Structures are given as structure tokens and as C-alpha cells.
Chain A
Amino acid sequence: MNIVILYGTETGNAEMLAEDIQADLQADHAVEVANLSDFDPGDFDPERLYLIVSSTYGDGELPASAQPFGAAMRAQAPDLSGVSFGLFGLGDSEYETFNQGSLHLQELMEAAGAALLGERVVHDASGSDLAEDLALPWARAVVALAETRLGAAA
């Protein structure tokens, strides 16, 4: 499967996680990693699976590297029907606005017609789990869902 991992980050945790996921999946798939700051909504391709990994900042906002993408989604209002994505959020339950950034990305994607595969899974920096222990199973499950879909479509 052709997979693109998009990360939104401010202190680099999401970037590190994106690379971990890439390392985990690339034996079986073609996997690219890109910063959301370098990604234009016009580039979404229904042939590919998108795994989005993003933190939350400020007061429940998108992290710095995802802000331009958020603005572009609102401005361009692209038609993303046929595009599938998975979403993994990084946050900290010390904040009342726990993981609202990733929720916001989900809303932007779904409003544009893209389909979320599986559930949005979130990591809590104040919890005891390591992010990769949640994210690797999440990524594999999303890929499996995408494969089932493709199989069903074929």
C-alpha cells in the first residue's frame, strides 16, 4: 500500500512518532513522511492512505507546523471524497483542551469529505503509555482497514 504519514508538531514528538511508524510499516509498504507545513490540501490522492499524527498546542489549537495546513483547508475547502485517513493525536491531559488539535484536524478532513478509518487514537503525555506503544498498533490497524476496503472495492 502507498502510505503518506503527515505530522503536525511543535516540539518534535509527532515527527519522531511519524518516523517510528514509517520504520514499522516500510518493510511491507511504500511509506513517505511529510511535515504538514510542507503539504498542500490539493495534493491529497485517493490512491494513497494518509496517516495523520498531530499534537495540540496553546489553548487546544493546532501545533505550529499544522497551522498553515489548517488555514489552507479552510481557505481551499477541497473535495476530499474518496480520500481515506487515520488520525493519531498527541496531547497532555493536564490541559482542559485535551487533544482538541487532532480533533480539529479530524473535523476539517471530514468536512471536506475524507473518510476516517478506525477511531482517532490519542496519547497523553501525562499518562504512562509510550506514544509508540499506542501508535504502532493504531497504524497497523488503520492499514489493515484500508486493505480490507481496497479488497472489497476490487
Chain B
Amino acid sequence: MRKVAIIGSGPSGCFTAQGILKARPDWTVDVYDTLPVPYGLVRYGVAADHQGTKAITRQFERIFERQGARFFGNVTLGRDVTLEALRAAYDAVVLATGLSGDRDHGLGRAEGVIGAGQLTRALYDHPDAGRLPDVRGEVIVLGNGNVAVDVLRLLAKTEAELQDSDLGAEASAWLAGRPIDGLTILGRSPAAAARFDPVMIRELGRLQGVSIRVADLPEAGGDKLIEALDGLDGLATGPRPVTFRFGCRPAGIDTDAAGRIRALRVEGPRGPEVLACDTLITAIGFCCDGSLGRDALMAAAEDAEAGRIAAGLYAVGWFRRGPRGTIPENRAESLAVAQRIVEEVEAAPPRAGAGAGILPAGHEVVDWAGWKRLDAHELAAAIAGRCRTKITTRAGMLTLCREKEDAR
């Protein structure tokens, strides 16, 4: 019987485990995560008001509850266990650790300049997130992708529109109390080249408290995105001004005496402009935060396209591809890599490695049952109008994972 270790329990790690166990139900598949909780960006990236998208976790649960994968939460690759040790202990190791650093915008640091990853992790109660930042005044969201739309939508929503989300009490109060004068979503490319999903743009048409203006828009000419943007222009359901700007290349920021941003200078479609800006949220993509030597590993990969780094070492998801692509793309890729792993592992002599036996003695691992205890607690503790209340610290998570039902 062969053993595979998958590092990272986000969509790409889960789909890889699913694919391997579907082909070889008797193999040992161990899924590790640095957090005590599974699912990666499904829990901490997919928007709190998109619970339907998060329902994919019902499928992932099966991998652990019926297909026999084992969960090893609270185990950090590079700290609690090394890649070398894992490779010796398993027939194959799959890196599925994602990419979570905010890509650098090159505008320099200042008070009030915030990465979208940093903001969403704080909003969604990621245990390693910093405090909720000081978002106020004229807010510009820089970026033309779906993460920028998520941020805009959450900041634009009224409390009533956040019903049934899994935002915590603190994040909810923070959103409700934001002293925002205006929201601008600004992209460097022209509207026709924006990476927004037209469906997500149309979703903004249901916002209840906004007055939307879409500037810099060309003729639609049958383009779905332009049509969707055109449909938003002029929407007036409430007081909060929302503006779309396109073709504006950021050129620099101006700060006040206290070091806080007060303006964003852009090269606009009609020349240079200075836009008043008290908060700049950059949603221009993600990058490697330097951990695990990712860039060097992928650069040296034998067949990076097919997810093979070296014999017995594979990569999937955002870790392999870079920070692009949605859950469906991860599935297609992970299932293909899973098939390749099955073929290559079977063609190689068995390793008879120690598997999870290499974990340091005394290290507290969260198993599936532990996560389910925490999950049940979070669901039961949901405050009014919410579907879940996440535990926000690792220590708090570990305590609840540990607690047996009968001890409560």
C-alpha cells in the first residue's frame, strides 16, 4: 500500500486527495495544513456573502469521511516537518500550499495603503491576520479582478445585505461603522480588458445602498462585461457613491504630514489626474511570501506544466500555477496531477516510509474529528443573522478541537 502526503487542504489539495483515492481507495493519503482547520481560501478567501460557493466543502468532507483521507491540521511544512523528511516518509509529496502574499504595487508604503489579501484575511477572521485596518474617507480599490469586486461589494453592502454570511461580530461592526465617503474601483487597463466576471458585475446591480457611476466606458458592441458595466451606470438605490474608473495607471501616492495617504496620482485616459484618496486597497494579485523556497522549486521543476517537480514531488493549485484561476480550474488540474501521481508511484518501487510517524513526538495535531468538533461549535455559536462564528485564534481553535463532546 502506497502513502501520499498532500501539504495544504485548500481546493487543490482536496481535489488531489479525492482523485488519488478514487483511483486507489486503499492508499494512505494524509492531508496536512498549517492551520487547525481545513479548506484554505474556501474558508478565508471566498467572500463571506458567497456561502453557495463555500458549499463545495460538503464535497471535500467526503474525502475525509468516506474516502479515507486523514487530516493533520496544525502541522506547518518547514517548521514542524521538513520537505526532506516528508519525501523520505512518503511515496509521493504534493505541495498545495497556495500563495497568500499580496503582490507589491510599487507605490511605496504609507498609512492607509492596504493589501486586499491582508484585508480579506482580517475580515474573515484568519488567525494570522492583523487587526482590521483603518479604512475611511475616499476609498480606492485598485484592481480589475474578482477580488477587487469582492472587496468593493463588502464595503458597499448594508448590514441587511450581509444576512446569512459568516462574517464575525467584530468584522460586521467594523463594516457597519466604516466612515466611507466614496468608493472607487480603479483599473489600469481599459474596461474591455478588465478581468471582472460579468456575472459578478451584474451582482452589484442588486446592491441596496449605492449610487453607481461607471466612467471611461466604450460602446458595448456585444461585449458581455461592457454591457454589464453599462447596466450598472446610474444605479441609484442609496447614498454611498461608487465609481468605476478604467485606463488609469497609478503613478504615485501623496501622503499627509502624519504619513497617511491623501491622494493617488494616476495617468488617466485623458492625462494625469490627482484623485483624493484616504485609503488605497490594492487587489492586484498575490505572490509567494518567500516561504518554502517556492519560486526556486518551481523554476527547477522537471515538468512544471504537469505539476511534477522531481521524482515523488509534485505541485498543484496556486502554488504551481501562480495566483490565478478559480476552484473549477483547480479541480481539473488536481485530478490530472492525481492521475499522474498514481501512475508514477505505481511504477516506482514502494518506499515503506514511516508516513505520519515522522511527526515530532508531542506535537499537537488536529485530526478530522478535532476539526469536526470545532466546526460544530462554530455553527452552533453563530450569532443572529449569520451562519457561522469563526474562532479567530489558533489557541482558541486548538482548545475546541481538543474538547470531547462529553466534556462540554
Q: Which residues of B contact A131 (CB under 8 A)?
A: 58
Q: Which residues of B contact A94 (CB under 8 A)?
A: 50, 52, 203
Asked if A58 and B328 sit within 8 Å, CB to CB, the answer is: no
**Max chain B C-beta neighbours (<10 A), residue from A95, A96, A125, A130:** A125
Which interface class (under 10, 10 to 19, 20 to 34, 35 or more) fits B?
Answer: 20 to 34
Q: Which of B52, B56, B198, B328 contacts A124 (CB 8 A)?
A: B52
List residues 101-148 of chain A with CB under 8 A from any CB of chain B: 124-126, 130-131
Q: Which residues of A contact B56 (CB under 8 A)?
A: 11-13
Cα separation A59 to B18 with both chains bound (whole Å): 28
Q: Which residues of B contact A64 (CB under 8 A)?
A: 328, 332
**B23 → chain A closest CB, angstroms:** 14
Asked if A130 and B52 sit within 8 Å, CB to CB, the answer is: no
Asked if B53 and A130 sit within 8 Å, CB to CB, the answer is: no
Q: Which of B15, B58, B203, B327 contacts A130 (CB 8 A)?
A: B58
List residues 14-56 of chain B with CB under 8 A from any CB of chain A: 15, 18, 50-53, 55-56
**A40 → chain B closest CB, angstroms:** 21
Q: A10-B328, A12-B15, A59-B199 are in contact. Are A126 and B62 (CB under 8 A)?
A: no
Asked if B199 and A12 sit within 8 Å, CB to CB, the answer is: no
Q: A92-B53, A126-B51, A130-B58 are in contact. Are A11 and B327 (CB under 8 A)?
A: yes
Asked if A125 and B331 sit within 8 Å, CB to CB, the answer is: no
Asked if A93 and B52 sit within 8 Å, CB to CB, the answer is: yes
- A16 is an interface residue with CB less than 8 A from chain B: yes
Cα separation A84 to B15 with both chains bound (whole Å): 33
Q: Which residues of B contact A16 (CB under 8 A)?
A: 59, 62
- Interface residues, chain B, with chain A CB atoms under 8 Å away: 15, 18, 50-53, 55-56, 58-59, 62, 164, 198-199, 202-203, 224, 327-328, 331-332
Q: List 12 A-B contacts (CB under 8 A).
A: A11-B59, A11-B327, A13-B55, A13-B58, A59-B199, A64-B328, A92-B53, A95-B199, A124-B52, A125-B53, A126-B51, A126-B164
Beyond A12-B15, A95-B199, 16 additional pairs, beta carbon < 8 A: A10-B328, A11-B56, A11-B59, A11-B327, A12-B331, A13-B55, A13-B59, A16-B59, A16-B62, A64-B332, A92-B55, A96-B202, A125-B52, A125-B55, A126-B52, A130-B58
